[in-house]
Structure 1
Amino acid sequence: MKRFLHYALCLPLLGVVLSAKAVTVTSCDRQLTIAQPPQRAVSQDINLTGMLLALGLKSRMVGYSGISAWKTPNPELMAQLADLPELAARHPSLENLLNAEADFFFAGWNYGMRVGGEVTPASLARFGIPVYELSESCAHVMPRRVASLEDVYTDLHNLGRIFAVQPRAEALVQGMQQRVAAVRARLADSGPAPRVFLYDSGEESPFTAGRLAMPQALIEAAGGRNVMDELAASWVRVGWEAVISSDPEVILIVDYGERSAAQKRDFLLQHPALQGLTAIREQRFVVLPYLAVTPSLDNAAAIETLAAALHPQAFDQ
């Protein structure tokens, strides 16, 4: 904890370093003011880390956390991170961030932070480390209606302002919007929305996505309907009975964790209680990596892949 004294001495000076370069953005239910573009940023999780890299901010990062212990790595992204240290394999501690002399933490609720945990915006503020919260994750700390692609666009725009790389952020947002618009144009006359169940993991009870998690937006943009869209929850555990009663036509498998996507598929195919599901009888599965179904720049590719699987007739032309 070598930086506690250093931060305690500096706290009274924070008010005088604000200058014309300061920017204020909304982070969940807070107004976050950044005095100057961060130079020693830390990101949590593979999707948030990918956003900083895409914004060209690797030189202003001192590390990342939360990838190696449980995520299926993206080879290209990991190659970019080869000379950056992973501060923690799962969740960073306060000491991890202080020892790295971080001046900014990009994380989210259940993406490196938990309510009442050691690392939160409030706990880090005591040491002068501002936190920008992933918009999708705000559902854990404030009322929200539904997850949206606007969450990703907002995060990119806000990060662009925080790091003073607005043109790069705008280009990334426009690129995503153009790809999503192209999918929607193909789906204009695609017919009814197939029922989709997202299967993340779990055998006794499945872990899936309610309407406050990013897959809700991805499935809708791809011309489908999330069968768990009545749940005002983010990533959530449900009973198999709820899955059976919804009779999904397609099952979206998230590829990450200890079990491979093929193992998850085999488990579902062999589950005695699921044999009557349309998706099981017709063996209609779509596999997407963790990076693609959580808020990230890969969301556009996820929509393209999912739309082609849900409405193949619209993409065979």
Structure 2
Amino acid sequence: MGTSRTGRWRPALVLAGLVLAGCSTTAPATPAGSTLPVTATAGYPATVASCGRDFSYAKAPTRVLLGNYRTLKTLDRLGVADAVHGYLLGPDDRGVAPGSLSKDLVMVSPDTVPAREPVIAAAPDLFLSFTEAQLVGQGKLSYDDLAGIGANAYVMGDYCMASPVNRSIDTVYADITNLGRIFGVAERAEQLNRQLKDRVAKAKASLDGRAATVAFLKVVGGKVYAIGGYPVSATLDALGLTNQFADLPTTFAELSAEQARAMTPDLIFVNYVGDEKAAIAELAAALPDLPAVKGGRVHGADENLAQGGGVGAIDSLEAIAADVKNARR
């Protein structure tokens, strides 16, 4: 555990912690670099739970809407990316989709929490969300809206309203397993999980047992926010590192001046999108007296890596491990 903190946490109103008919007749293509053919299985009907709700699948989805386009990387590794019809933009995309996305994919809405109308018009058979906050209803998209068009929902990363704040790296593997069942590629999912677990083990081994207390922070509008829950909790636990904010009752919360002064992390990671150097400089300006800041032990954590969950969460973990390994002592 990290050092004790004092004062009351002030939760930030930020989305989910930010940073939240038969077998298929055509087998998906084998992903690049794979040696195992991808074939649809006879595993239908299948029931897969998400956020306490059971969803039934009679066949593999063929018209998927992504709550965050970054989840496409995981579907690609499973060989089912062709099932994606469209996507929503993430909270840090500022309404602009990356040019690297295929022009065949449709931006259904620039809003992370979409209105119901564009989603209904897109007629997905699966909404693959990155946070249950995208299904809040109250004039926006809801579970009932999806049920009305015969669409299922699955929330990546177990970013559910009722889920515990601190979750383990097993959350990633559970997602891969569930996606394997949903798309009828269970064998491919098992192979991918083996590969991901091997990557995590190698990342941890690269640290040679180094002990360090790590703080994840983000600066928004001049205010400093602490990040303690998933995926930070999963990443640090999997690497054998200590989470400065392990006792944070919410994933993301504003850090008071008193709490900032009480911090003694060995390393700081500042979440950013876009300009890493600017994010580090902004954090240093906000907390210039912290020993980690004075010692040059502040690194950037690219939110783009983990935001879509799945494979991206492991990419992020490896990047964190590399920075810890090379950090000043």
Q: Is TM more than 0.5 here?
A: yes
Specify which of 279, 297, 300 is matched with residue 292 of structure 2: 279
Query: Cα distance, 1:179 vs. partner?
Result: 0.7
Worse overlay, 21-30 or 63-72: 63-72
Query: Cα distance, 1:249 vs. partner?
Result: 2.2
TM-score by length of 2: 0.77
Unaligned runs of 5+ residues in structure 2 are 1-20, 24-42
Unaligned runs of 5+ residues in structure 1 are 1-16
1:306 is matched with which residue?
320
| Corresponding position: 1:118 with 2:140 | yes
- Quote the Cα distance in structure 2 between the aligned partners of 1:69 and 1:145: 22
1:270 is matched with which residue?
285
Cα gap change, 1:28 to 1:220, in 2 (>3 Å): same
Cα gap change, 1:120 to 1:302, in 2 (>3 Å): same
1:297 is matched with which residue?
311
Q: Equivalences for 1:23-102 in 2 at 5 Å?
A: 23-67=46-90, 70=93, 79-91=100-112, 92-102=114-124
- Quote the Cα distance in structure 1 between the aligned partners of 2:194 and 2:261: 39
CA contact (8 A) 2:89 2:96 kept: no
Task: For residues 237-266 of structure 1, give each alpha carbon's deviation from its aligned partner in whole angstroms, at most 9, with x where no partner exists.
Answer: 332432331222212122316xx2222211
Q: Which amino acid in 1 is paired with 2:217? A: Y
- Quote the Cα distance in structure 2 between the aligned partners of 1:197 and 1:116: 35
- Quote the Cα distance in structure 1 between the aligned partners of 2:170 and 2:97: 24
Query: Cα distance, 1:87 vs. partner?
Result: 0.9
| Corresponding position: 1:216 with 2:216 | no
Query: Cα distance, 1:105 vs. partner?
Result: 0.4
Q: Equivalences for 1:145-156 in 2 at 5 Å?
A: 146-156=166-176
Q: Which amino acid in 1 is paired with 2:282? A: F
1:6 is matched with which residue?
none
Q: Which amino acid in 1 is paired with 2:75? A: L
1:261 is matched with which residue?
276
TM-score by length of 1: 0.79
Would you say how many aligned residue pairs link Structure 1 and Structure 2? 286
Cα gap change, 1:147 to 1:188, in 2 (>3 Å): same
CA contact (8 A) 1:44 1:65 kept: yes
RMSD: 2.8
Query: Cα distance, 1:109 vs. partner?
Result: 2.8
Cα gap change, 1:72 to 1:238, in 2 (>3 Å): farther
Q: Which amino acid in 1 is paired with 2:263? A: S
Specify which of 262, 269, 272 is matched with residue 245 of structure 1: 262
